[in-house]
Structure 1
């Protein structure tokens, strides 16, 4: 008999491992990080338990799947949505389990009066979003969604419709011609005393991350679904990122002493997470040191230029610096987080850099009112 449980964290963490099996390309966040993401009063997104919950599906002692149901009140207020979110929808290819999980999330949202539910949001639009709908054979990088092909099918079978198409991309770092990124505009920026790269070191990372937040909020202000990120939210989300950063491959550019542009990259942590099964243990330090010695994959978390400097070649200056540093440091590939089909400028830049498509993603939504 199928059983639903609410707020069973151990089962929630175990669900994708149980549902997808040992050969899956899925990689979980570190268990300790996932726990704090789902902690009311600790995660700034959830001031109390009334704003979110999660469910797991069980049969005969096996965890078959999981899902969160939650609210992002700031997004609804800013964009005029009447929407609840679902996230972390991971499920075996089991119609009954999927129906029960999705139904539980829908009931939670319906009981709070929302007109629709949409996901995956893990947990906001500035974190992992989407359901993978293509490129299933490609291993994900850190902060990228992965699910098997049956997940979008299960959603469609339960009345969900795909929207907001996105893609992720990958570059061979050594094959990028750095000189193609610089021209007269970029050389003028590099020669100008008004521009300077701020130091990115272990002692300055907190300040550079705050610079990055300021740039993010300005650069992304007009993007669909974007909500300005508070300092508390940003540094909560970035907490696990700071201890794995390689300062050589992130950069912040100042203009007249103020944050102007940045590219934040981190080494791909997924090989380490896979080796540890995303759990802390006695062997964790050894696995981490081994990963640091062998890392050759990096992921671009985000890049941005403040609005008043956009279209002037500033992004190419920062990109040139980062890619040169990656080549010198021995990184082989660079993955990137999602780019929507409507972001023509970023897609054009990927084409110019010779990037190859990695994954295809969509959001899925369902109306909760007739």
Structure 2
């Protein structure tokens, strides 16, 4: 087995890196491919992530065939914000072979060690909006958009390579017929009356786009202490905002205002996974149409976080957004909501969600390992 680094100008290697996952998951009905163009922007270093940080990409080969891939990531914005000295690994895909997995993970560790980093954790994405962790429970469940579905053997590959759990993230289903705890509605009603809170809806995507700078500010203030938080540059946020504008269902999207100030938001959008599957990761020639059609007919809503300014978090703002969500769902076509990746140790978020009797169905795990004393000879 050999490990090779994928260089930005090597179009053949970039193609093999991208295509490997399509070959590995061929016939798997629950795997949702990423957009090829998005993945290529990282491999060619054209993504704004590279304005402040660095990454390397590796392929594992056996008998002339690609049998695995990985990205090693140095997110300087993350390390600077949290005061850490860690690397991430991402885009990890591998055949069921412990030697191949260890070779890839060692290659990522070597790259990180050469940059003075002391540990490596993952799977993690390059930006905050990317999904986190390996799926370790819920292999029969359809994934939320951008969240990993992988083979069950991945957990064993990482464990055998010396990685240990650092965090688990739970996702669960809310059926449209469910009704939350009555206490939540009382809290929401009191907050509306006493706190001068108001719900804001949007009539157009242009109107939503105009308030997105407030989302960036709220994210930073609300999630800055979250161990999974990664600060975004303006360019990174603009890319994320374009996606948010495209996938948003304006009948569901709601912000909360306090005395005329935007105080919080609810990030919910249709699950477009079936459209991505039909598009096979490509927008052209018809991929964009498949995705657009799925936006209008998906019966599943992905809820990827509720953000409230810290000074309003204990004043009932979150209760207002949760109860508003339930009302919107009842008035919509959606049959269920996927609450995405809540840290199992985030008791505040979990308790709010559990008022709706959400059934936790999927678990994603982030792993960590100290950097090994490996040598660069592993990379050919």
The TM-score with structure 2 as length reference comes to 0.89
Residues 87-127 of structure 1 deviation map (CA, whole Å, 9 limit, x = unaligned): 11111112332122112111111111211111111124553
Match of 2:6 in 1: 6
Match of 1:256 in 2: 259
Q: Which of 321, 327, 336 matches 2:330?
A: 327
Displacement after TM superposition at 1:28 (Å): 2.1
Counterparts of 1:78-93 in structure 2 under 5 Å? 78-93=81-96
* Counterpart secondary structure, 2:87: strand
Match of 2:378 in 1: none
* Counterpart secondary structure, 2:281: coil
Match of 2:376 in 1: none
Counterparts of 1:1-370 in structure 2 under 5 Å? 2=2, 4-7=4-7, 8-23=13-28, 25-40=30-45, 42-47=46-51, 51-60=54-63, 62-124=65-127, 126-177=129-180, 181-183=184-186, 185-191=187-193, 194-200=196-202, 201-368=204-371
Q: Is the 8 A contact 1:196 1:254 kept in 2?
A: yes
Call closer, same or farther: CA 1:173–1:9 in 2, change over 3 Å.
Answer: farther
* Counterpart secondary structure, 2:331: helix
Call closer, same or farther: CA 1:39–1:325 in 2, change over 3 Å.
Answer: farther
Structure 2: how far apart are the matches of 1:124 and 1:240?
Answer: 13
Displacement after TM superposition at 1:84 (Å): 1.0
* Counterpart secondary structure, 1:274: helix
Residues 224-266 of structure 1 deviation map (CA, whole Å, 9 limit, x = unaligned): 2424434332222232232121111111111122221110101
Call closer, same or farther: CA 1:34–1:336 in 2, change over 3 Å.
Answer: farther
Q: Is the 8 A contact 2:181 2:355 kept in 1?
A: no
Call closer, same or farther: CA 1:166–1:199 in 2, change over 3 Å.
Answer: closer
Residues 32-79 of structure 1 deviation map (CA, whole Å, 9 limit, x = unaligned): 122234453x4332127x711111223345432211111111221222
Q: Is the 8 A contact 2:101 2:157 kept in 1?
A: yes
Q: Which moves more between the two structures, 279-288 or 147-156?
A: 279-288
Structure 2: how far apart are the matches of 1:37 and 1:266?
Answer: 25
Across the two proteins, how many residue pairs are aligned to each other? 367
Structure 2: how far apart are the matches of 1:24 and 1:96?
Answer: 27
Displacement after TM superposition at 1:26 (Å): 2.1
The TM-score with structure 1 as length reference comes to 0.91
Residues 130-150 of structure 1 deviation map (CA, whole Å, 9 limit, x = unaligned): 122222221211132221111
Q: Is the 8 A contact 1:170 1:334 kept in 2?
A: yes
Unaligned segments of structure 2, at least 5 residues: 8-12, 374-380
CA RMSD of aligned residues (A): 2.3
Structure 2: how far apart are the matches of 1:283 and 1:108?
Answer: 39
Call closer, same or farther: CA 1:3–1:226 in 2, change over 3 Å.
Answer: closer
Structure 1: how far apart are the matches of 2:366 and 2:44?
Answer: 25
Q: Is the 8 A contact 1:211 1:252 kept in 2?
A: no
* Counterpart secondary structure, 2:248: coil
Residues 307-334 of structure 1 deviation map (CA, whole Å, 9 limit, x = unaligned): 1111221111112222222221210111
Residues 326-345 of structure 1 deviation map (CA, whole Å, 9 limit, x = unaligned): 22121011112211122001
Q: Is the 8 A contact 1:219 1:306 kept in 2?
A: yes
